[in-house]
Amino acid sequence: MEESALVIDMLRSTGKLFFVMKPSHRPMIPMLHGEMFILDHLERQNDTVTPSEFSAIMRGSSSRTAIALRNLEQKGYIERDMDKTDRRKIKVSITEEGRKLACSERETLMLKIRMIVDELGEEDTREFIRIAGRIVEITNKL
């Protein structure tokens, strides 16, 4: 196989992989890109985070982060409050509804991944993890 065809095949297969790995689309819980990441991070941190910290963690723009935070707040999954020690800062915290959703989504994802691992088997799973790790290493060098 010539190199350009190999590159195209790699692009197609990884594109398909990312497409099928997206969270299931639920009409009752429309979530935009980054919103689930924010909820999961807040639930795992069990602490408040500033919007600028989210932008840095997500490697995204502050406007994109602001949109995600606004959407989550409107849905009742997070709260934004002024920092008591520095009134110029906003602190973001997760609500109980947001915590329930984050835990539920994590459990669903883990179940799906367990099913994939069971189907792949240990050897192919370890090989996938090794290759994915190499791709991350190479990407970080670029």
Domain spans, the chain = 28-141
Instruction: Provide DSSP, 38-63.
Output: HHHHHHHHTS-B-HHHHHHHHT--HH
**pLDDT at res. 91:** 93
Contacts of 82 (CB under 8 A, 6+ apart): 89, 90, 91
Beta strands 90-94 and 78-82 are antiparallel
Each of the 142 residues of the chain gets a pLDDT tens digit; together they read 456 776 677 666 766 666 555 555 444 445 566 888 899 889 988 888 888 888 888 887 888 888 889 999 999 999 999 888 888 889 999 999 999 999 998 888 788 888 888 898 889 988 988 898 888 888 888 8
Q: Could you tell me the fold of the domain covering 28-141?
A: Arc Repressor Mutant, subunit A (1.10.10)
